[in-house]
Each structure stands twice: as C-alpha cells, then as structure tokens.
Structure 1
Amino acid sequence: MLIAVTPLAASVALLGWTGAFSSLALIALALMVLIFILLKDTPGSLPLARRLFKPQNTATEQRTSATTVAVPITDALPVLGPGSSGIVPALKSLLKRPGVRLGFWVHFATCFSTNSFVLLWGLPFMTGGLGYSFATASTIVSLNVVALMAAGLIAGPLFTRFIRQRVEIVTGLVAVIAALWCAVLLYPGGAPVWLMTLTAMIGGIGGPASMVAFEVVRTHAPYTQRGIATGIANMGGFLGALVNVLAIGLILDFTGAGTPDTYNLESFRWAMAFQVPLMILGITMMLIERPKAQKYLREKGLR
C-alpha cells in the first residue's frame, strides 16, 4: 500500500483527483479485459472468454480436455468448464448458508470504519472538524496503522485459543468502536487528542479482527467453494467503506461543508455519525446470523 501511494500521489499532482482516479479506473478496466481474453487456468486450457462463448459441451471435447490438461486441485471454486455448477448457482447455494452470510457481516462490521478513516475522511475530519494540526492528525492516522499491525500479531493466537467465542469477541469489539465514536462526536467543543487517538487505535484492531470472517467461511463453505465464499465475505468491509465514504461526502455537501474552506465541526459530526448506524447494522446481523450458523453446523453433525 505504501509503495502504491507514490505513483498515485504523482498522478494526483499531475492530473488532479478526477484525472488520476479516472486513469486508475481505465487501467483496471483494461486489465480486466485482458484477463478475460487471455488468462488461462492451466497450459493448454481455454481463456475465460472462449469458455463462456464457446463451451466444451460434447463428451469428446471433455475427454480431450481431461487427457491434455491436468486440472490442479485447489480450494478455489470450479465454477467454469465441464462439470461445473456455474457462477450464479454457486452464489445462490453459498448465500443460503448462514455461516457465509455471517462471514460477510463480520468483515463488514469490523473494518469498514477504519478503512474510511485511513483512506479518506480521517485527516479532513481531524483538521477541518476538530481543528487539529496536520502533524497531529497525521500522527493519529499513523498510530491507527501501528495498532493494526500490532493487533495482527495477537489476533491469530487469541482467536485460535477462543475459537468458539471468536464471533462474540468481534461483536464486542465493534460495540466498543461504536461507543468510542459516539464519545468523539458528542464531546462538547470537539474531542481531545487523547480520545481521538484511542478511538483510532482501537478502530485499527478491526483490521486483523476482520480475518475472523474468512475462518468462519472456511468452517461453513464446502471445500470446493471456499474461493468464492471467501470473496463474498471479503466484499463486506469494502462495500461498507464505499457506502460510508460516499454518505459522509453527501452529508457534508448537504450541510454546506463540502469543501476544505467550508469544513466545520457541526457538519462533520453529522457526517461521521453515519458510520454508527452501519456498525449497529453489522452487530445486529451478526447476532441474527450467529445462532443460525450454529444450528446449521449442529444439523450437519459438524459441531
């Protein structure tokens, strides 16, 4: 991430925000097209585009493919090619599993807030809303990352030891983060540096905690569907961050504080408060899906 920031900053300086991110979007689109047209799973197999528009339907073609190409055994979902279920049926099948849905909401609740804070709104909120100096605000953002890295060393052993309580631990963490943000936003006259620092560092723990989502999915998804199930869970935090980032910007615009020259604490309080209902949504959905996931495992004799 740190290495990627340098060319991005140079692009912003040269092209402006709109030009830089439009260029990134075009590059990503071009890469996606190239992958679609050229990338093969194995030597001798067909690229994705040809498999979709010219499927191997005959038994002869299937036997030829089987004898010429050895399909590697992985945890990824074989959704394409002979004998596959197809992407849409696989998605429907996985979304019926409460454990997969639980994984999505675990990832959603734990990391959308810190992603929004670090990637976009942390510095503007602290400098334009709370009135901190740029150096102070930058230090707090850096401490968020340091806390994330330190928590990563602890998260593995902790969740391994308390594997049956992992979702409860995550739920409690999200509740603490939500409470801290409420304290920051309601503090009279603007939150002091120590409170904002504490909130940022505790929020950073949500990054490693979000990895619990993948362990939950591994427990509940079939062996051959773990790839796409992991993808479903991984969408949670980034989808939440996208919604949160957009909503904060729209609320600032609506309250007349859509530019750095018009930033003010009151507008930022309303805008940053949007993440609290999102956290409550995440907690609620985890509480709903957790018992369903446990019941599913018991019915299948897996617990």
Structure 2
Amino acid sequence: MDKQNSKLRWLIFASVLFTYLIMSSQRTAPGLITDQLMTDFGVAASTIGLVTSIQFFVYTFLQIPMGILADRYGPNFFLIIGAALTGIGIIIYSLSTHEFILFFARILTGIGDATIWVNMVLILRQWFTEKEFTRFIGFAGMTGSLGFLLATVPFSVLIVLLGWRGAFLFAGVFLCLCSLFLYLVLVKKAKQELFVKSKMKREKTSVLLRRIFSTRQAWALFLCHFGIVGGYIGFIGSWAVPYMMDVYGMTRLDASQLIMISLIGALIGAPLIGWVSSCLKSLKRPYVVFHITVLLCWSTILLFKAYPPFSLLVILFFIIGFGFGSNSLTFAVVRQSFPMTESGIVSGFANTGGFLSAVLLPSAFGYILDHFQSTSGSIGDGYYYGFITPVIFSIFGLVGVILIKEKQKDEEQDTKRKKGKKVDRDRENACHY
C-alpha cells in the first residue's frame, strides 16, 4: 500500500488525534476532584498530590524506553495497547475504594499515556509526506492543549451530571472503545501487522545517550522545559481548582472556567509565539522573554500573598497559559542544535524535564499545604507558601533558557567576524600598494 497517497491516512490521522485528545484530557482531569478525593478517602493533601503526580512520574520514566521499543517493534501495537491500558486504569480509578487502588490505577494510566506521543509521531511520519508531517505535528501539539481544555468545563459538567465516579468510568470505557477502533483502522483496514520486528543498534543508542547527558545544550533544554511546563501542568492538574474554591470561594464549575481561560491562552500562545520567533529569526530571545513573563506572573501571585484581585488573577492565569505555549520552542531549538539522528532522543530527554517538574510540583505543594494546616490551621498561609514552588521552578527554567546557545546566531556572528577580518586584510593590502 502506498501509505502517503492513500485516502485511509485521513481516517488514521483523525482517529489517532482523537484518541490523543481523550488521553491528554485525563492527565489533568483528576485535579477537578482533589477535594472530593480527600473527603471520600479521608487522606491528606500530600497523599492526593502524590496520587496526581505518579502518572507524570511513570510517563517521564518511560519516554526514552518507549522510543526504543517503538523503533524495534513498530508503533501500532504500543499505541493500541496504550489506549487500552489508559482506559482500564481510568475505569479502576473510578471504582477504587482505597488510596492504594488509586495509586495502582494512576500508574496503569501513566504506562498507557507514555505510549501516545512517540508512537503517534511515528505513525504520522509513515502516512504523510515530509511537508504534511511538519504541518500536522503542529496540530498534534495543539490537540494536547485541547485535551486539557476538555478537562475543564466540559468534564466538570459531566462530573456534576454523573458524579466523579460515573464521569471517569465513562471516560475509561470510551478510551477502551477508541483502542478497539484504532486496531480496526491501523491493523485490519490498513492491512498492517500489529508487531513489526526490526533490528536495532543498541550500542549506537547507548553512545547517543552518553553524549546527551554530557552536553550543555541538552541540559539547558531540560531545564527550560522543566521550568515552563511543570509549573503550569503540575499546578493546573492538581491544586488550581481547590485553590480557587478555598481562597476565592468559587464553585467547581466557576473554577474550571478560569482554568479554561488559561488553556485558551496556551492555545493562542503556541502558534503566535512560533510566528513571532520566525519573524525575529531567533528562538532564544522570545523564549527568554516568556520565561521572564511567567516568572513575574507567579511572583505577582506570591506578592499578593496568594490572594490577588480576581480580575488580576484572570489576567495572570491567561498570561501563564500563553507563556506555556512557548514550550514548543524547546523542540525548535532541538531541531536547530542536533542532527536528525539525535533529535528524537534529545526531544525525549527535554520532555522528561517538563514532566519531571509536573511530578514534583503537586507533591511539594501538597506537603506545604499539610504543614501549614497542621501548624497554623490557615489554608491561606499554605497556599501562600505553596506558590513559592512554581516561582522556584520558573527560576530553573530561566537559568536553562539563558544557557541555551543559539546555533544560528552564533554562526551569524562568526560570519560577521570573518567578513571583518577580510575587510581588515583588504585594507592592509591596499596600504601596501
């Protein structure tokens, strides 16, 4: 089958991205019911923070191994089984009666979630030409933000109608059906094998990994993704809704609407920031600006002792979301700085930084809340000191983006130096004559 000229590729494109939409929504959806979980299971905020972050930990740990497995056995199996595992994990989550079952369910969900991005990229690469792939991978990135958006007001409405257990049960069953549909499309209808065994040079991979871990540029990208992604996803996916309910006395639906404003900012920011950087012919300068902007936003919330005027809070959340859209520049720098043979692993390494911070922030925030509730009994003080966490994370991100060496800019400076030396030599020669 000529995949890149087949009409079937559009069905594959739609089905894969739709599955990614539903799966990405379940990364932050548990943040909508944080307070209900604490009440129903009688657990502390730190425990719920750990339950929330465990999925991101599993996702982070499996990024590079998943890339190796996908290269060896093909993307079809892992994408199909990943959607099924995520669905089963969410179903168990909805039926859980103990916090240990919650942990197990989120671990299973994290294993399934870890399969989606790498294998989706490989499938799109197989079925679309190079130009189409470049254009559609941007749509894939926006689909993730749309998934976060789905986990705000729409999923909140579903929770109100069905209860939190019914809403998550529905999402889990729906993802299992998506897995079945992917099997019918990718394997049966496309007449492709579920498993594709291919030889892989393990030694080459180990050499690349050693090179990456000793490269300043890779660590700079790791840090800037750590700062820009974790503060946003980690907070939105865990404590944003409880914060607005506890501090501002908002309903769950109203709080989710404010999160939706932040996610709209992310949707607008991603393509607009890419356009700005292309106009400026620089990746580092706009990235530095947006890292500073996000740091100032978190610091402003801290300056108002976690209780800024509501109109200002809306603006700050929108700007933080808009700044989060700049995280795509991390992978633009990867493409600029590393050869094609290394870009996949470097992208996985940088992405690991982002989701590692998403693992750490909910737990750290939860421990701070528990500490101040037990010592002073003030939830407001807990949130105030809790916001120190995203401020610190943003400082790490700013350090990382400052450490980035922009290859294009450096090459232009080298060219100017060479031209200047040539002019000097010409002048010297002219003086001799």
Q: Of 9, 12, 15, which aligns to 2:96?
A: 15
Superposition deviation, residue 101 in structure 1? 2.4
Superposition deviation, residue 105 in structure 1? 2.4
Superposition deviation, residue 90 in structure 1? 1.2
Whether the aligned pair in 1 keeps the contact of 2:372 and 2:382 (CA below 8 Å) is yes
Tell me how far apart the structure 2 counterparts of residues 290 and 263 of structure 1 sit (CA, whole Å). 41
Q: Of 325, 333, 356, which aligns to 1:216?
A: 333
Superposition deviation, residue 31 in structure 1? 10
Tell me how far apart the structure 1 counterparts of residues 415 and 361 of structure 2 sit (CA, whole Å). 37
1:183 partnered with 2:280: no
Q: Of 269, 276, 279, which aligns to 2:384?
A: 269
Tell me how far apart the structure 2 counterparts of residues 19 and 290 of structure 1 sit (CA, whole Å). 42
Tell me how far apart the structure 1 counterparts of residues 350 and 387 of structure 2 sit (CA, whole Å). 25
Tell me how far apart the structure 2 counterparts of residues 184 and 245 of structure 1 sit (CA, whole Å). 17
What SS is found at the alignment partner of 1:279? helix
Tell me how far apart the structure 1 counterparts of residues 385 and 235 of structure 2 sit (CA, whole Å). 15
Q: Of 188, 192, 197, which aligns to 2:314?
A: 197
* Residue in 2 that maps onto 1:250: 367
Tell me how far apart the structure 1 counterparts of residues 109 and 231 of structure 2 sit (CA, whole Å). 27
Higher helix content, 1 or 2: 2
Q: How does 1:48-67 map to 2 (within 5 A)?
A: none
Q: Of 160, 184, 198, which aligns to 1:45?
A: 198
1:125 partnered with 2:207: no
Q: Of 278, 284, 290, which aligns to 2:399?
A: 284
The aligned amino acid for 2:311 is W
* Residue in 2 that maps onto 1:25: 107
* C-alpha RMSD over aligned residues: 3.5
Change (3 A) 1:263 1:126: farther
Whether the aligned pair in 2 keeps the contact of 1:108 and 1:239 (CA below 8 Å) is yes
Change (3 A) 1:201 1:256: same
Unaligned regions of 5+ residues in structure 2, if any? 1-19, 30-86, 115-192, 417-433
Tell me how far apart the structure 1 counterparts of residues 342 and 415 of structure 2 sit (CA, whole Å). 17
The aligned amino acid for 2:397 is G
CA offsets 1:16-74 (integer angstroms, 9 cap, x no match): 56424412424655999xxxxxxx9984536xxxxxxxxxxxxxxxxxxxxxxxxxxxx
Change (3 A) 1:158 1:91: same
Superposition deviation, residue 296 in structure 1? 11
Whether the aligned pair in 2 keeps the contact of 1:98 and 1:296 (CA below 8 Å) is no
* Residue in 1 that maps onto 2:216: 98
Whether the aligned pair in 2 keeps the contact of 1:113 and 1:241 (CA below 8 Å) is yes
* Residue in 1 that maps onto 2:128: none
Superposition deviation, residue 110 in structure 1? 1.8
Tell me how far apart the structure 2 counterparts of residues 167 and 253 of structure 1 sit (CA, whole Å). 39
Tell me how far apart the structure 2 counterparts of residues 203 and 282 of structure 1 sit (CA, whole Å). 14
Whether the aligned pair in 1 keeps the contact of 2:370 and 2:382 (CA below 8 Å) is no
Change (3 A) 1:147 1:218: same
CA offsets 1:219-252 (integer angstroms, 9 cap, x no match): 1112211110111111121111211122111111
Q: Of 161, 182, 185, which aligns to 2:279?
A: 161
Superposition deviation, residue 213 in structure 1? 0.5
Change (3 A) 1:41 1:263: farther
* Residue in 2 that maps onto 1:234: 351
Pairs aligned (count): 255
* Residue in 2 that maps onto 1:3: 22
Q: How does 1:115-154 map to 2 (within 5 A)?
A: 115-154=233-272
Tell me how far apart the structure 2 counterparts of residues 101 and 115 of structure 1 sit (CA, whole Å). 20
Whether the aligned pair in 1 keeps the contact of 2:234 and 2:361 (CA below 8 Å) is yes
Superposition deviation, residue 298 in structure 1? 4.5
Whether the aligned pair in 2 keeps the contact of 1:102 and 1:286 (CA below 8 Å) is yes
Superposition deviation, residue 264 in structure 1? 1.3
The aligned amino acid for 1:210 is N
Tell me how far apart the structure 2 counterparts of residues 11 and 272 of structure 1 sit (CA, whole Å). 32
TM-score normalised over the length of structure 1 = 0.71
CA offsets 1:95-128 (integer angstroms, 9 cap, x no match): 3333322322232222221102221111111112
CA offsets 1:196-232 (integer angstroms, 9 cap, x no match): 1111111112332001000111111122111101111
The aligned amino acid for 2:229 is C
Superposition deviation, residue 155 in structure 1? 2.6
What SS is found at the alignment partner of 1:238? helix
What SS is found at the alignment partner of 1:120? coil
What SS is found at the alignment partner of 1:256? helix
What SS is found at the alignment partner of 2:404? helix
Tell me how far apart the structure 2 counterparts of residues 302 and 221 of structure 1 sit (CA, whole Å). 20
Tell me how far apart the structure 2 counterparts of residues 101 and 107 of structure 1 sit (CA, whole Å). 10
Change (3 A) 1:302 1:131: farther
Tell me how far apart the structure 2 counterparts of residues 91 and 22 of structure 1 sit (CA, whole Å). 30
Unaligned regions of 5+ residues in structure 1, if any? 33-39, 47-79
Whether the aligned pair in 1 keeps the contact of 2:90 and 2:106 (CA below 8 Å) is no
Change (3 A) 1:135 1:281: same
TM-score normalised over the length of structure 2 = 0.52
